[in-house]
Amino acid sequence: MLDIRFVRENPEIVKQNIKNKFQDNKLPLVDEVIELDRVSREVKQEADNLRAQRNAKSKLIGGLMAKGQRDEAEAVKAEVAANSARLAALEKEEGELEEKIHAIMMRIPNIIDPSVPIGRDDSENVEVKRYGEPALPDFEVPYHTDIMERFCGIDLDSARRVAGNGFYYLMGDIARLHSAVISYARDFMINRGFTYCVPPFMIRSEVVTGVMSFAEMDAMMYKIEGEDLYLIGTSEHSMIGKFIDTIVPEAELPYTLTSYSPCFRKEKGAHGLEERGVYRIHQFEKQEMIVLCRPEESPMWFDKLWQNTVDLFRSLDIPVRTLECCSGDLADLKVKSVDVEAWSPRQKKYFEVGSCSNLGEAQARRLKIRVAGEKGKYFAHTLNNTVVAPPRMLIAFLENNLRADGSVAIPEALRPYMGGMTELTPKK
**Is 21's pLDDT higher than 60?**
yes
Strand order in the sheet with 246-249: 246-249, 369-373, 376-379
**Reported CATH class of domain 4-105:** mainly alpha
Out of 218-222, 377-381, 399-403, least confident range: 218-222
The residue-averaged pLDDT of 182-196 equals: 98
Residue ranges, comma separated, of all CATH 3.30.930.10 domains in the chain are 122-424
- Quick one: what percent of the chain has pLDDT higher than 90? 82
d(CA 295, CA 391): 34
pLDDT at 81: 75
Does the domain made of 122-424 have the CATH classification 3.10.20.70?
Answer: no
Cα 300 from chain centroid? 19
Where do the CATH 1.10.287.40 domains begin and end in the chain?
A: 4-105
Q: pLDDT tier at 211 (50, 70, 90 boundaries)? A: very high
**If you write DSSP's letter for every residue of 391-418 in order, what string do you get?**
HHHHHHHHHHHB-TTS-EE--GGGGGGG
Task: Please give the average per-residue pLDDT across 312-336, as a whole number.
Answer: 97
Q: How far apart are CA 407 and CA 412, in angstroms?
A: 16
- Coil vs helix vs strand at 197: strand
Average pLDDT of the residues in 193-209:
96
Q: Give the pLDDT band (50/70/90) at residue 67.
A: confident
pLDDT band at 68 (very low <50, low <70, confident <90, very high): confident
What pLDDT sits at residue 57?
A: 73
According to the model, what pLDDT value does residue 119 have? 98
- Which alpha helices (DSSP H) does 221-297 contain, by range? 235-241
Sheet order of strands, 320-324 included: 126-131, 320-324, 336-344, 349-358, 381-388, 283-293, 255-264, 195-197
pTM for the full predicted model:
0.90
Q: Is 175 exposed, middle or buried (0-12, 13-18, 19+ CB in 10 A)?
A: middle
**If pLDDT is split at 50, 70 and 90, which confidence band does 283 have?**
very high
- Check whether 272 has a pLDDT greater than 70: no
d(CA 135, CA 399): 10
